[in-house]
Structure 1
């Protein structure tokens, strides 16, 4: 025997791989168990599969349960051997005599089982036969049982094979990869739908041509060589070809192809790598462009290590330094930077190592000894080397010196043009105004501005708010500005100025704001006057256009009214309009044809002759409310048809049309014939009532009928007269309960037909006694104990519904019991505030509310397998309770019982 821990784990894995546990019944398996039962002359036959905690029956004859606990299974012994395991009399076998399947239902005495062993040697379960009396199989019966077991395992294996084929077909159809079977001449024999999705060609076209015809001309020779290799016996290849699509473009396909030596066919899987190929080409192109940019840059581009040694340099940069590229690669930054600047160089290397980036100015020495000034912006790459990019600003540096001389000249020019300058340093909060700027503000030459006082010169409102916002944004993200605003100078004079500002940043921080300030008051006043003049002219032009459009609109309105009347008379509905006061002033032609009335008879409010008397008050009430509140009018009423005098249901609706001030200027309404719809709704309601009654009849009669069947079965098996007399008495009581239930249900049907369900004074003890009589057989067979504590002895409720509630709660408690544990059911009735609370508590299987809580009262929902359950009882009970204003809740834990609480 194999190592038990390892073999059992492998056996369970093999069992689960067959995906057969908890599957629906299948005729092929049921035939085998029926044959086994007939051949071995036993009342019970099972195909049992041994899971980790249970034995589950794929097919069963003679018992209704679908599974039992594994530790009770006779079959657990069968799967440990390869031959038939037989127990002649379980009551005399030390291994089984105390087993509850022997001492209790189904009363096993004889057992014979043959293991179901698959092709890998795993015993998945058994084909077994069971009798309630001692027995021994004949040799021919043993041989037949073994043959049937072989058929059972063959069915299980065949079942999985079919599932695998179905799964492969599903994958074959849904995958985006190209999957096909082809011959070595390049013709497709079978293709999946992905071919049409990826390439655009339909299946018929692809199966009719050679695949070589779709290959790109540049890849054709390679594709033909691949096919020749397969014809020569090559087993596998993974070529890449460009394949033509229906649109004429090409897609790059990577194939994985295997030759089946038996059939000589090629099995191919192709993946569209066009996008990957494009990215690869783009990356290469990008690298080539970067290399060209590096080599042809007119500035200095280089890489150096963290100690300053050059790793690469471009030709232009080396030439500016006076060296060849080979000479530079033998140097470091310390060789080309003057000795006086080495401290700054070391600071640069330290900074770029810590922060990963550095920029600024650097001085180097040309090979001939002259100095060069560079503006650099360098980045640390991968923590191993630095990418440098520098621009030679030697000439610009010297030009800046020359500009200082020009600055004095510009200041004189600005004074003539009334253009001043300013500067603000955020860190020190210092502001500098040029002399012209101070002159524009009308302050003294020695005036020292501050930020707050400078802003306060701007005119209150838009001027001050605008300049404040612009300053904050410039300090935050470096945005500049060029605006025209009003300020009030130190003498109280309002003037227009043009303010221009720029920001200077270092290391991501704003270090300086600067700009110009110009007095534009004369220019601005002239501009504003011109704009006002233009605006006035545009206003006059607009007024003239409005008058022209008004005349056009009046012409269009007349045409629209004529079209509306024609459209309204063409609609097979009643259309009408009303004044804001509620007086109706227009009807379409259908109104007059339907009612037979004239316009004079129905103007204002003339509906009373055609409205059904029962609908008149509500119609007037809703219309009055709509007129007073402006709410849409929506009501159903009956109109009398002039043709035959019949009243038909109509849906009346109206919406108010409002002007630009929100005032109602007109009501537009319609009346739609909905008589057939109303009749259909009434018929649907009646059908629903009868369906509900049918479910109640089927559910309430099943228990008494089942109980009577159970008592009759016990009568057939007992030989003791005293027990037969007791069972006959039970049968009479169940029959009486069945007749009483039928009478109650007939009363319910009569009441429903008469549209009313009366409440009665129902005695709780009497109700309980009646339900016990209905379920007497099941109570007796399961040795159930039903207790009650009725603080409330009488309940006002429809008798048949209260009895149905008691029946459903008790029958569920009897049905869902734990194996070997007699049911204990406790029923209480007590006052809860101003209502009555009923409680039904049991010690049964319980319900996993975390899994099933949302579905507990839904139709056709079941929570335990292996029971004759339809999922109707709790659904019907909840509806019966809520019909009369009650509610139901549940508390439960698996294997700890359930309690239902009902408030009525």
Structure 2
């Protein structure tokens, strides 16, 4: 009990668990349904969703228990979260870990336990979905699979629960903010506005959304507004744009806007505030020196004057207070004292710019006296004093809170986009006036087209499978345009690769003055769900037909008093079928086999009834088949398995599907079993062939990558030989050419060994010398390294590891050649390779000073096939995919850290 298993990431795991805010929450039906389904599928009385806190396990949902939590030291689940696989304890009394556990020796008397860990998207095991019985038990493979799938559904619900709460918080901010927050389009119409618009301007939401914004703008501000809209249309953000906006009373209020465009949708996201009072104060400032002083002292923002070196000359009380100082303290300081050290280069640039242009506006970051940071919008002007000295008048507004809200809005939008990718839900928009169609990235992925693909209406419709699917989508679009009808259809498309995919297409319409202007909607990949649904329907229909046929046969036999003539007919039919047909009594005693059984096995009826299937059943299948048949006899469940029977004619074992279903009387009692065995050996061989093809495709990729380097080096050295006239240099290059040729031969010989090993189905582990492998790769890439003046530095704390050598060479080759290929111009590549040990694992690190990779943009596609992260290079997007596959094939892991312009660092655990 004192040595409780604790995950290595326990601190982070608990932080993640508490971050979901699910502990001690009320019962929720969607979680209770999952525990009930788990209890039914696994045929157990107790099912729990257990979350492992620091000192307890708390039950989010429970079936069969009355308590809400137990001490963590008693929890079986504390072991289940240590491993990503299902933990199954068939009999706790025989397990040293649990036989003395109070939950085993006392109530609820646990004997059987199976728990699947609840792992969130960040890899933290929050708890388990577990099933418990008071008697020993073993789950079938299907039950284990169902339990794992239900566990994945639980963690999905927990993540979705938090996302809903975060979205609710964002909506509260949107509704309650005193700033004007909007989403608009390039056409000059608002798409969404928050309640602050009505509060500040008086217009209703409907009036604002259905009226062009140019109807509200002061006539003198229309031209400048059009200029700002053009800037936004070209992807430039607007900061501190001033505009006069009509109120419902007919007067105008001065608004200050900060807006940003979204290139993918054409939407504009903006935040504004009413600066009418500040504007009035500015006008009063121009009229009177006294009014200037009053405004200066009473402004709620930061107003100040400073010289051209940044030293404060004056500051208003409110601004000084916001910075944490008194006006007297501020006038003893300069801008360099309140702006963080790392931003002083920007401050110097600001001082240079205001000297040159006379005015500067933008954002700045200051540090409060207590150390906190504040974000300001400023608008400063250069002035001359009465004696001709130059100074700067500064006006700034604290937008720290608004910046936080805007960042929250961006994060929420990114979360929604990621959710759509996970759910395979894309979007689309069709502008009828411009005849332009827009597809989101997920929609393009479902169609199998590249991200730069430009769809049109005809090609979009032609993706739908010809016939019913294409006819239905065409009719739906026509009805939408003509009558405004929305649609929700499950249809089939054929993607670019020719694959048929089931999708759910939803469409809506947008009308203006009775004319359809726009169609828009969502597009979801439901192929897996649909195929499962259709397969289930086919299975149900086939079972119904079989049941009907059996019932008809039973009724026929009853009606004819089981006459000898009908028995002979049935026997003749059974003997004519090229399958093994058999029947047994309720206790499992087999009383009939058709002719095919005797022809295939060479056994007699007497031998079969005496010895059973053991003489012809493959020894490896005997125990499992016996257990399954006994289980069916005990439970009445249909018998279904795959076994190998020996064919009498040649002694060969062939695969068969063996099935049997029970026939019951009116009381529900089993009176007979009807079984069959169908030869599926050719089907199994086809599966083996498919696996072999996959293995050779992998080998072909290794060949292509491993030969590209030596071949490329030879070509580069030949070019350098052709260009040089120095005899000494030619001698060195010829020596390098010889080395590259030898390396090419060695690579071919190694690849032939791998092919021989593959053909023998026996892949061995080699004692690999890491420095020797690096030296070999240097020879292969000699031409590139000389041309780029590259340097490889090694630091091996562990010099040898056990691993298939050709795969390890391929891994080293891919990472080193990538570092050379994606190096910076004019900067010699430097590649640092090191090795350490951790527990029983070897850790390899590859670090370079190259171009680096933007992981925010490409992180999810880092190791996927045919993914390229830098344009203009001879790249196929295969190397990293193959490297990850080779590492994971032998139980390893690979990860990466990278910054654009700095370089990349790959971490490998073997």
Shorter-chain TM range is: 0.3 to 0.5
**Greater Rg over alpha carbons, structure:** 1
Q: TM-score, normalised by structure 2?
A: 0.38
Q: TM-score, normalised by structure 1?
A: 0.38
